[in-house]
Amino acid sequence: MGLLMTIQKFEDLIAWQKARLLAIEIQKIIKNPIFYKDFDLINQILRSSRSIMTNIAEGYGRYSFREYKHFLTIARGSLTETQNHLYIALDSEYINKEEFHNLYNLTIEVYRLINGLIAHLKLNKSKQAGV
């Protein structure tokens, strides 16, 4: 029998934890001197990767399912933007294929977790409405 963990704060959300890990890993790769010369890309990838965890947290703090879902969809959009920036970094040879694949796989994991949260919200909203 597994433990049932209740979510008491946004930091308990696995989606937020993994999004935080992604943001940390992005911060590491941009320290590469060859990457560091592209200030525009650095700014964009940092902002989009940080936006993922920020919007997961902000959505958690909202009072309605609708608002929470809205912020999760924004987080998912920021995630897709981060994936795009990873392609630019790869194509510009700022990161190698292994770094790209490791980071991209992490984005896929976060994407699935966000989708799981959205599905959970939809299910619980249906139950509350008696549908």
Question: What pLDDT shows up at residue 65?
Answer: 87
Q: Within the chain, which residues score under 50 in pLDDT?
A: 1-4, 127, 129-131
The sign of the torsion formed by the CA atoms of 89, 93, 97, 102 equals negative
- Residue at 1 is within a domain: no
Q: How far from 59 is each of 27, 35, 67, 74, 131, CA to CA, in Å?
A: 24, 32, 6, 9, 24
- Residue at 12 is within a domain: no
Question: What pLDDT shows up at residue 124?
Answer: 76
Question: What pLDDT shows up at residue 8?
Answer: 84
Question: What pLDDT shows up at residue 1?
Answer: 37
Q: How many residues does the chain have?
A: 131
- Residue at 5 is within a domain: no
Question: What pLDDT shows up at residue 4?
Answer: 43
Contact by Cβ (8 Å): 41, 85: yes
- Residue at 79 is within a domain: yes
Q: Count the domains in the chain.
A: 1
- Residue at 117 is within a domain: yes
- Residue at 25 is within a domain: yes
Question: DSSP per residue over 57-101, as a string?
Answer: HHHHTSSSHHHHHHHHHHHHHHHHHHHHHHHHHHHTTSS-HHHHH
Question: What pLDDT shows up at residue 130?
Answer: 37
Contact by Cβ (8 Å): 29, 38: no
- Residue at 7 is within a domain: no
- Structure-token pair, residue 21: 């890990």
- Residue at 116 is within a domain: yes
Q: How far from 71 is each of 10, 15, 111, CA to CA, in Å?
A: 13, 13, 14
Full residue range of the structural domain in which residue 56 is found: 19-126
95-113 confidence digits (pLDDT tens): 999 999 999 999 999 999 9
Q: Any idea what the CATH number is for the domain that residue 50 is in? A: 1.20.1440.60
Question: What pLDDT shows up at residue 78?
Answer: 98
Q: Residue 28 and residue 41: Cα distance in Å, rounded?
A: 14
Angle (CA) 75-8-51 rounded to 5° is 15
Question: What pLDDT shows up at residue 5?
Answer: 58
12-31 confidence digits (pLDDT tens): 999 999 999 999 999 999 99
